[in-house]
Amino acid sequence: MPAYEYVVLDTAGKQKKGTLEGDSPRHVRQQLKEKGLIPLTVEATAQKTRRDEKSVFRRGSMGSADLALVTRQLATLVRAGIPIEGALRAVSKQSEKPKVASIMLAVRSRVVEGHSLESALAEFPQAFPDLYRATIGAGEHSGHLDLVLEQLSDYTESRHRTQRTIQGAMIYPIVLTAFAVLIVVGMLMFVVPKIVTVFESSGQQLPAMTQVLIGTSAFLQHWWWALLLVIGLFVWLWRRAMQKPAFRYRVHRRLLQLPLMGKIVRGIESARVVGTLAILSRSGVPLVEALRISSQVAGNLPIREAVSEAATKLREGSSLFTSLDQCGYFPPMMMQMIASGESSGELDTMLTRAAQNQERELEEVIATIVGLFEPIMLVVMGGVVLIIVLSIMMPVISMNTLVK
């Protein structure tokens, strides 16, 4: 039976929302009335979710943590022999988030209507990416959906852990930088003006460093709103410019050319592409189609274009190693592991190991950068504070010299 989302009034006159299955909206309204509730709206879950996907907030999307949890639950239930429609219903009931429950019930409704699981998931592209749907389709066609779901759950959980590691590593530098900026701005706006008043009233010629400090402090006091406006305008213009493919392509290409940032971006993208290729290949997706789908998960446009061209070369008869090696974006160690996998006939295993090795190397690089960031930030903060102190002390020393 299809699922419907409803809004009702309870006996206390309060609105409540929920999801209920029924043959039709009228059937759902009758069920709600039998429970003593007054139905206000009853709408099919699939229609509502598809409309919500078009909204600004992308309500039809699903976070990486939710996707990993849903996939693991589905894998466990299907492996236990529960039919897919029953597994989808159980997952929707176990979910604590109404949005996730609504999506899973809508997917179940499509499956009950006779659609394949892949086509049902395709109704919600913001929640289930191309990789996810292609892997599910390969499992359905091969008759090993339980094994594919197990592999896919491992993959989604690994991706989620990697994202959390990167996000967790970036929290401390961001917080430290924000506090450092706030401290410096606070000193310039509230502390420095009270001290330099003495120098201004003395009438003596102030050092250039002190004059710069006073000018900066006065600018922040009187024009801070203009500075915020300029920053906001810059962010808005940047976001508008990044929506243009040509400008975004140039920015992404420039990122790859930066000494340290380029290595990190290449590491992230190569691990993502090869990891996706591994899960698709193990699931029975043809290698050419798997490489084409893997190119779409790359966030960097030059790398995405290069992997797409590699898929074309692979279709024309080139080996996977040759096709990817000509891109120039994949680490040498990863390429050697891929070549070894092709020659030994264990490509799936070597692709998985290559992606895991790259992820571990990336975590080490990020950990090293975060470890170096703290002392570097302390040195920078000490330098700024030293400049402020010298700018204040130099006139004091000059005044003492004149008095003597």
Token pair belonging to 11: 């006996």
Q: Which strand ranges, in their side-by-side order, compose the sheet holding 38-44?
A: 15-21, 3-9, 38-44
Strand partners, 6: 18, 42
Token pair belonging to 271: 């691990």
CA dist 301 and 246 (Å) reads: 10
| Secondary structure letter of residue 189 according to DSSP | I
Q: pLDDT category, 387, cuts 50, 70, 90?
A: confident
CA dist 128 and 145 (Å) reads: 16
End-to-end CA distance of the chain: 96
Q: pLDDT category, 161, cuts 50, 70, 90?
A: confident
Average pLDDT over residues 193-210: 69
Token pair belonging to 194: 């009270």
Token pair belonging to 12: 């206390």
Q: pLDDT category, 132, cuts 50, 70, 90?
A: confident
The pLDDT score that the predictor gives to residue 367 is 76
The two domains 64-157 and 160-404 share their CATH topology (first three levels equal): yes
Residue 201 pLDDT more than 70?
no
Polymer length in residues for the chain:
404
Q: pLDDT category, 2, cuts 50, 70, 90?
A: low
| Secondary structure letter of residue 204 according to DSSP | P
Closest CA to 264 of 166, 354, 362, 356: 362
Would you say 285 and 134 are in contact if contact means Cβ atoms under 8 Å apart? Answer: yes
Higher-confidence residue of 233 and 37: namely 233
Token pair belonging to 120: 């049902």
This model's pTM is above 0.85: no
Average pLDDT, the chain: 80
CA dist 310 and 323 (Å) reads: 5
Burial class (CB in 10 A: 0-12, 13-18, 19+), 84: buried
Taking the CB of residue 232, how many other CB atoms lie within 10 A of it?
A: 10
The pLDDT score that the predictor gives to residue 48 is 52
Higher-confidence residue of 230 and 24: namely 230
Burial class (CB in 10 A: 0-12, 13-18, 19+), 89: buried
Average pLDDT over residues 20-30: 76
The pLDDT score that the predictor gives to residue 54 is 42
Higher-confidence residue of 191 and 65: namely 65
Residue 204 pLDDT more than 70?
no
The pLDDT score that the predictor gives to residue 233 is 95
The pLDDT score that the predictor gives to residue 200 is 62
Q: Can you give the residue ranges of every domain in the chain? A: 3-53, 64-157, 160-404
> Strands, DSSP E only, in 55-152?
none
Higher-confidence residue of 140 and 342: namely 342
Residue 72 pLDDT more than 60?
yes
CATH class of 64-157: mainly alpha
The pLDDT score that the predictor gives to residue 52 is 47
CA dist 172 and 117 (Å) reads: 42
pLDDT in tens, 252-264: 999 988 888 888 8
CATH hierarchy code of domain 160-404: 1.20.81.30
Higher-confidence residue of 59 and 104: namely 104
Q: pLDDT category, 56, cuts 50, 70, 90?
A: very low
Q: Are strands 15-21 and 3-9 parallel, antiparallel or unpaired?
A: antiparallel
Q: How many CA atoms lie within 13 A of 381 on its CB side?
A: 17
The pLDDT score that the predictor gives to residue 15 is 78
pLDDT in tens, 213-247: 778 888 888 888 888 899 999 999 999 998 888 99
Residue 310 pLDDT more than 70?
yes
- Torsions phi, psi for 205 (to 5 deg): -75, 120
For residue 18, the surrounding DSSP H or E stretch is: strand 15-21
Q: pLDDT category, 24, cuts 50, 70, 90?
A: confident
Closest CA to 302 of 310, 314, 312: 310
With a CB cutoff of 8 Å and minimum separation 6, the contacts of 42 are 4, 5, 6, 25, 28, 29, 32
Average pLDDT over residues 159-182: 77
Q: pLDDT category, 1, cuts 50, 70, 90?
A: low
